[in-house]
Amino acid sequence: ASLDAIQARDGAVQAFLQVTPELALAAADRIDAARAAGDALPPLAGVPFAIKDNMNLVGTRTTCASHMLEGYESVYTATCVQRMLDAGCVPVGKANMDEFAFGSSTESSAFHPTNNPWDVERIPGGSSGGSAASVAAGEVPLALGSDTGGSIRQPAALCGVVGMKPTYGAVSRYGVVAFGSSLDQVGPFGRTVEDVALAMNALVGAGRDPYDGTSQDCAVDFCEHLHDGVEGRRVGIIPAFMEAEGLTDEVRSAVEGAARALEAQGAKLVEVDLPHLDAAIAAYYVIGPAEAFSNLARFDGIRYGYQEPACPNLDTQSSRSRAHGFGAEAKRRQLLGAYLLSSGVYDKYYYAAQKARTLITADYAAAYEACDVILMPSSPRTAWKHGEISDPTQMYLSDLYTISINIAGNGGVSVPLGLGATSKLPVAAQLVGPAFKDRTLLTFAAALE
């Protein structure tokens, strides 16, 4: 059914870079055989899922939507993908994304844009736009994305699905092509909070992954307290966030409506302040590019992917392969990172960004003394038209609500709140919690469904 839905809808949505019917049907056959043999079936037996194309799966290409990795065949399988397979999920294909996950609209894919299933003239958000759109289009019930500065939560918001960035360290990054190693986190998209909870069980249930030194054991049953309600719990609101420039009226009133809905169920609203939040976007656009520059140095035209032919020597081969393999945004980030890490400049920006990171993390820790979760928008606005935002700085500002959570490392979930009053496009709220309290976030998210 999933393959049929892709066949029918993906011409218009273009969520996938590669569809893998052979892998899907082989996995489905294995489950059928297990059932016929009377074996116990894993919890997500037969559930199709889409995989962001920066995650390795043997038998597929992993291109990061870049010419640099065009045709690159995965040589091993990422732990996050393997855990979904172990839970019985069936891989139907690799989802489109911004090139190397740099972006908020999926327009920087080197191959093709993805269209928002609610209005195909609009972007699905990004960078995990293909994953979000595949779920929103009903092509798959679950998808995996990665979130370095909002790339799960923002496209989930713009496509009207649930998207969760777990706490840094909850899900293994082994086998996921790195962008910013101290910020990257894998998480699920689903149509409902319960589906996301089931996927979280699959992703973290087996405990820590020895192949990722930052992975931690935080296995809990994410479904266990899903419907406990929010009676007596405290919801933090950051007034400055609700008045931020660029926040549209319809998103503000939807998030205010969500706050009232939680209040009506017995939660208490409290005001909290994150005094250093103003520095979050600037700090992110120093730390992110610096780490990206370091991580993407491995694409040297020799070890992986695109190799420029007929070069007179190795240096030229490397520089021309990089010049022609990477797209504009990937180059911009790497040039910025190289500059920021150069001597003299490093102290001024990278150091300052790390200090801001410490302060923002401390702000969150202080805020959680007064509340259990913080409620805020996921995205300041609904999905925009393809091509509408062409200035990179404007694009960076659209990450206002998502970035500080990657900086502090805690978890966040975007929950759909129906359609906006004026745009008639999906609007969403985001719930953000203390580190490793991701299950609590899902309880609050379920209360908003």
Q: Segment contacting ligand GLN (CB under 6 A): 40-48, 102-110, 194-202, 213-221?
A: 102-110
Q: In terms of C-beta density within 10 A (0-12 exposed, 13-18 middle, 19 or more buried), how is residue 360 classed?
A: buried
Q: Report, in Å, the least distance between residue 428 CB and ligand GLN.
A: 16
Q: Which DSSP symbol is given to 61?
A: B
* 400 sits near ligand GLN (criterion: CB under 6 A): no
Q: Give the chain's count of helices (H) and strands (E).
A: 15, 11
- Of 147-155, 263-271, 334-342, 383-391: span binding ligand GLN (CB under 6 A): 147-155
Stretch that binds ligand GLN, among 71-79, 100-108, 246-254, 257-265 (CB under 6 A): 100-108
151 binds ligand GLN (CB under 6 A): yes
Give the Cα separation of 154 and 415 in Å (integer): 10
Rounded to a whole number of angstroms, the minimum distance from the CB of residue 301 to ligand GLN is 24
Task: Quote the least distance from Cβ 187 to ligand GLN, whole Å.
Answer: 11
Q: How far apart are CA 107 and CA 125, in angstroms?
A: 9
Q: What is the DSSP letter of 41?
A: P
Closest CA to 14 of 139, 103, 127: 139
Residue of the chain from 127, 134, 379, 443 that contacts ligand GLN (CB under 6 A): 127
Q: Residue 383 has what DSSP assignment? A: P
Residue among 48, 103, 305, 380 that touches ligand GLN (CB under 6 A): 103
Select from 139, 372, 399, 438 the one that contacts ligand GLN (CB under 6 A): 399
Structure token digits, residue 100: 């190397």
188 binds ligand GLN, rule: CB under 6 A:
no
Name residue 169's amino acid: G
| Contact by Cβ (8 Å): 130, 16 | yes
Q: State yes or no: residue 48 binds ligand GLN (CB under 6 A).
A: no
**Amino acid occupying residue 116:** N
Contact residue for ligand GLN among 49, 72, 102, 293 (CB under 6 A) = 102
Q: Give the whole-angstrom CA distance, residue 76 versus residue 73.
A: 9
Whether 414 is catalytic: no
Residue 201 vs 402, nearer CB to ligand GLN: 402
Report the distance separating Cα 303 and Cα 320, nearest Å. 14
Per CB under 6 A, does 91 bind ligand GLN? no
With contacts defined by CB under 6 A, how many residues of the chain interact with ligand GLN? Answer: 13
Catalytically annotated residues: 52, 127, 151
- By the criterion CB under 6 A, which residues form the site for ligand GLN? 101-104, 127, 147-151, 179, 288, 399
